[in-house]
Amino acid sequence: MKSRFSWQPDRLWRMIVSWLATFLTPFVLVFFGLRVVASPLFLEIEYRRPGFPPDPYGFTVEERLRYSNLCLQYLTSPSDISLLAEQTFENGRPLFNARELRHMQDVKAVFVPVVNLGFGLTLVLFGLLLVAQRRPWRMDFIMGIRRGGWLTFGLIVVLGLFSALSFWTFFEKFHSLFFEAETWIFPYSDTLIRLYPLRFWQDAVLVLFTVAGGLGLFLGLTLRRSPPRPS
């Protein structure tokens, strides 16, 4: 009779791939949410939606869209900071001051690795899912994704409650993870604040959480273990 503690490589492998799927899923779902927020479509909807605060210093909706899309282009392309540094107001004054340009470089230094990591982990998860279709551990992998969906949903609920209680505290803690103290704080008259007031970030976080948490809930509710096949 086999010992209950005997080596079972197949069972160990099933456990590994299942938990790998569980831990990959939150990263992939948050990545999906990030790509929705970092898109021209989100900018278009956000700036044109009723109730979005106007710029007290005079930017029109069209100007906000044009300049914010330039920032997005800088973050999502190989372009260097000269793309933003060369932009000027009609009177010839630079659109972004030196401090704003340094911050945008800091943002890109974080944004690009995060997006590359998210894209890479997405490829890994979907690649393993394709391989799993012809393997005996297919359902273990799918159940790992389901568990990852619930994990994502739970994390989003916790973070959502934290941000709802005090968005500024949430916003500050987030920035402190990636940027030096106060390098991301600007006067209200600076271009970055005129383009991205606090309401913009509140809506961006809400959309990101809704996409990631909604997808997590969907996976948790819809993925089920297949019934055993009749012999």
Evaluate whether residue 228 is within a structural domain: no
Any domain includes 176: yes
Render pLDDT for 185-211 as a digit per residue (tens, 0 to 9).
899 999 999 999 999 999 999 999 999
Residue 156 domain-assigned (yes or no): yes
Terminal Cα-to-Cα distance of the chain (whole angstroms): 26
pLDDT of residue 101: 97
Helix/strand/coil percentages in the chain, nearest 5:
70, 0, 30
List the chain residues with pLDDT less than 70: 1-9, 225-231
CB-based contacts of 88, cutoff 8 Å, min separation 6: 94, 95
The pLDDT score that the predictor gives to residue 5 is 47
Cα separation, 82 vs 74, whole angstroms: 9
In-domain check, residue 231: no
> Which structural domain, as residue segments, surrounds residue 32?
11-222
Q: How many domains does the chain have?
A: 1
Q: Is residue 3 part of a domain?
A: no
Contact between 94 and 88 (Cβ < 8 Å): yes
Check: pTM over 0.75? Answer yes or no: yes
Residue 94 β-bridge partners: 88
C-alpha span between 8 and 19 (Å, rounded): 17
What would the pLDDT profile of 65-79 be if each residue is shown by its tens digit? 999 999 999 999 999
In a 13 Å sphere around the CA of 202, the CA atoms on its Cβ side amount to: 13
Structural domain contains residue 230: no
Q: Is residue 6 part of a domain?
A: no
What are the φ and ψ backbone dihedral angles of 11, each rounded to 5 degrees? -65, -40
Residue 5 lies in a domain: no
